[in-house]
């Protein structure tokens, strides 16, 4: 004979059954959700690594590109300055060929119309390194022959030779103050280390020089080279 089951026992049995069912459900959920959580964690780690890498690349670009671009622009300005020096030397040579003497004033090159010796605006060429027409004129007597060492740059009169901040007295006469006399070229009025050079060994702006003498030497070398090719 079966004993009757009380209402309390039935409730306890139902509670135990629900508890067991909940435990089984949670176990099944953990078993199925664990791989999904691991994949999400790996995706988050990959995204963080990509963001860190992008940050490093941006910092590297921000540090190096402006410096490289500045160096490119400086080299371009130096090359255009060298080209302008060559044009002045060529203008002096053409003036000498026409008048049998070198120009004694920059205005002679500036004002010449037929032929025009300089193709710059207003008959002048701007120094790309300074952005102004502030060349130093090289008189014929001060021109350095090709293959010889440039003159030593001395400090200005009255300056302390031991002062590291004293600006050196550069070869040449400011074009606006040139009093007259035959001249054969110009040079920039700055000092410091240069990236390019008009001639071999001129690695500072102080040593830059390109005059009619250098132009004649370059023409002679080209003619000698052509003579050997067509011999």
Query: Which residues does residue 169 pair with via DSSP β-bridges, in sequence order?
Result: 154
Give the residue from 107, 75, 109 showing the smallest Cα distance to 89. 109
Tell me whether residue 29 is in a domain. no
Rounded average pLDDT over 117-138: 90
pLDDT above 50 for 151: yes
Tell me whether residue 25 is in a domain. no
Question: What domain range is 113 assigned to?
Answer: 61-229
Tally the residues of the chain: 231
Tokens of 5: 């089951």
- The model's pTM is 0.68
For residues 204 and 78, give the distance between their C-alpha atoms in angstroms, rounded to a whole number: 11
Report the domain count for the chain.
1
Local confidence band at 68 (pLDDT 50, 70, 90 cut-offs): confident
Tell me whether residue 30 is in a domain. no
pLDDT of residue 3: 46
Tell me whether residue 8 is in a domain. no
Give the residue from 166, 177, 172, 176 showing the smallest Cα distance to 187. 172
pLDDT of residue 26: 60
- Residue 50, phi-psi category: left (phi > 0), alpha (psi -120 to 50), beta (remainder): alpha
CB 163 within 8 A of CB 114: no
For residues 215 and 94, give the distance between their C-alpha atoms in angstroms, rounded to a whole number: 11
Tell me whether residue 13 is in a domain. no
Tell me whether residue 49 is in a domain. no
pLDDT of residue 70: 87
Query: Which residues does residue 173 pair with via DSSP β-bridges, in sequence order?
Result: 137
pLDDT per position as a tens digit, 28-59: 555 554 455 565 656 667 888 888 888 888 88
Rounded average pLDDT over 117-121: 82
Tell me whether residue 79 is in a domain. yes
In a 13 Å sphere around the CA of 4, the CA atoms on its Cβ side amount to: 3
Tell me whether residue 6 is in a domain. no
Tokens of 203: 């690695």
Q: Among 40-49, 133-142, 167-176, 201-210, name the one with the lowest average pLDDT.
A: 40-49
């Amino acid at each position: 004979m079966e004993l009757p089951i009380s209402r309390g026992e039935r409730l306890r049995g139902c509670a135990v059954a629900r508890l067991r069912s909940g435990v089984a459900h949670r176990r099944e959920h953990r078993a199925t959700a664990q791989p999904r959580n691991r994949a999400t964690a790996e995706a988050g780690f990959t995204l963080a690594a990509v963001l860190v890498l992008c940050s490093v690349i941006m910092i590297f670009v921000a540090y190096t590109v402006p410096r490289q671009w500045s160096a490119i622009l400086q080299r371009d300005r130096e090359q255009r300055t060298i080209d302008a020096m060559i044009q002045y030397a060529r203008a002096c040579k053409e003036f000498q060929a026409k008048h049998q003497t070198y120009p004694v004033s920059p205005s002679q090159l500036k004002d010449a119309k037929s032929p025009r010796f300089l193709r710059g605006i207003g008959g002048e060429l701007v120094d790309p390194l300074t952005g102004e027409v502030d060349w130093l004129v090289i008189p014929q007597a001060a021109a350095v022959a090709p293959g010889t060492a440039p003159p030593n740059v001395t400090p200005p009169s009255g300056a302390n030779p031991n002062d590291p901040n004293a600006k050196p007295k550069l070869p040449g006469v400011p074009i606006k103050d040139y009093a007259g006399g035959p001249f054969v070229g110009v040079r920039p009025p700055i000092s410091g280390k240069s990236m390019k050079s008009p001639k071999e060994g001129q690695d500072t702006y102080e040593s830059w020089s390109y005059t009619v003498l250098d132009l004649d030497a370059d023409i002679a070398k080209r003619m000698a080279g052509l003579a050997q090719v067509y011999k």
